[in-house]
Amino acid sequence: MLQLITETADFLKSKTGLSPETGIILGTGLGGLVHEIAIEHSIEYKDIPNFPVSTVEGHSGRLIFGKLGGKNVVAMQGRFHFYEGYDMKQVTFPVRVMKYLGIKQLFVSNASGGVNPAFEVGDLMIITDHINLFPTNPLIGKNEAALGPRFPDMSDAYNLELIAKAEAIAQKNNINVQKGVYVGLSGPTFETPAEYKYIRIIGGDAVGMSTVPEVIVARHMGIPVFAMSIITDIGVEGRIEKVTHEEVQKVAQIAEKKMTLIMKELVASL
Ligand code: HPA
């Protein structure tokens, strides 16, 4: 795998001549951050050697290189989900490549369902920890020692300093943020009421279909991670309504401005 990663990283370095300090996965709710980036290079995934091939016609996604808050960043516009049929190595390959482009931290966003009764639709949640309920783990298989250890520590998966900084930025800007545990599972079904209840009982505050694989791989390689979630629907007994992808997108778009501001200022503060 190392050879594929360096091949891809070398290709991107030769195309852009840039060495980004921060990697960003623009999940749901962070699409607008793209407009804040002074774009220097934009490369479609389909033109990047060894990148997974998109399953959705015409929506290949792209890797964006540019400046955000005066800092060099590389941002993934569009991520690969396990439920689309990619295997875990494909889902997490771009994170491996970003490491070899030189990133020093990874920022991630997503949309999720809130199972903490104190949460409301439209809330932002800083992820402080996760529970991996995906049926597999991206590190299963032969370990390449050059990439990271066989048994990576996960005691500080989400960087405490970045969390503290983000909280200070939120407070300064009068943005209310929740903190909590993100439970990642495969999807693509949303949860049944019994599943939401189970997720709460095991210690979750929110549930979604991404992020956990990318964070595991980032931590395998020693990259500090900061992640935020937009609560787009509520999975609490008595408050459960039908969830649709459209509703998730709509709520995410409304909360997006606040998340964008926090991420931008956090990058600028590094
Ligand atoms: N469950 C899983 N994934 C999600 C949800 C949810 O309720 N909302 C947004 N993504």
Identify the residues whose C-beta falls under 6 Å from ligand 1: 111-113, 190-191, 207-209, 232-233, 235, 243, 248
Q: What is the largest CA-CA distance in the chain?
A: 55
For ligand 1, atom 9, name the residue with the nearest CA.
112
pLDDT of residue 56: 60
pTM of the model: 0.96
DSSP bridge pairs for 228: 109, 126
Q: Which amino acid is at 172?
A: K
pLDDT of residue 59: 58
DSSP bridge pairs for 75: 24, 64
Ligand 1 centroid–CA 112 distance in Å is 4
> Would you write out the chain's pLDDT as a tens digit for each of its 270 residues?
999 999 999 999 999 998 899 999 998 767 888 989 999 999 999 999 999 976 665 556 999 999 999 999 999 999 999 999 999 999 999 999 999 999 999 999 999 999 999 999 999 999 999 999 999 999 999 999 999 999 999 999 999 999 999 999 999 999 999 999 999 999 999 999 999 999 999 999 999 999 999 999 999 999 999 999 999 999 999 988 889 988 888 888 888 899 999 999 999 999
CA 27 to CA 232: how far, in whole Å?
13
170: number of Cβ within 10 Å: 21
Q: 49 lies in which domain range?
A: 2-269
158: number of Cβ within 10 Å: 22
Where residue 140 sits, what CATH number does that domain have? 3.40.50.1580
If you ran DSSP here, which 8-state letter would residue 86 be given?
-
Question: Which of 127, 130, 185, 243 has the most ligand 1 atoms within 8 A of CB, as the residue to mutate?
Answer: 243
Beta-strand relationship, 38-44 and 105-114: unpaired
Q: Which two tokens stand for residue 204?
A: 């979750």
Ligand 1 centroid–CA 207 distance in Å is 6
Beta-strand relationship, 105-114 and 206-208: antiparallel
CA 107 to CA 104: how far, in whole Å?
10
Q: 81-85: long-range contacts at Cβ-Cβ below 8 A with a sequence spacing of 24 or more?
A: 81/187, 81/209, 81/210, 82/134, 82/186, 82/187, 82/209, 82/210, 82/213, 83/186, 83/187, 83/188, 83/209, 84/55, 84/56, 85/55
For ligand 1, atom 3, name the residue with the nearest CA.
208
pLDDT of residue 251: 86
Number of structural domains (the chain) is 1
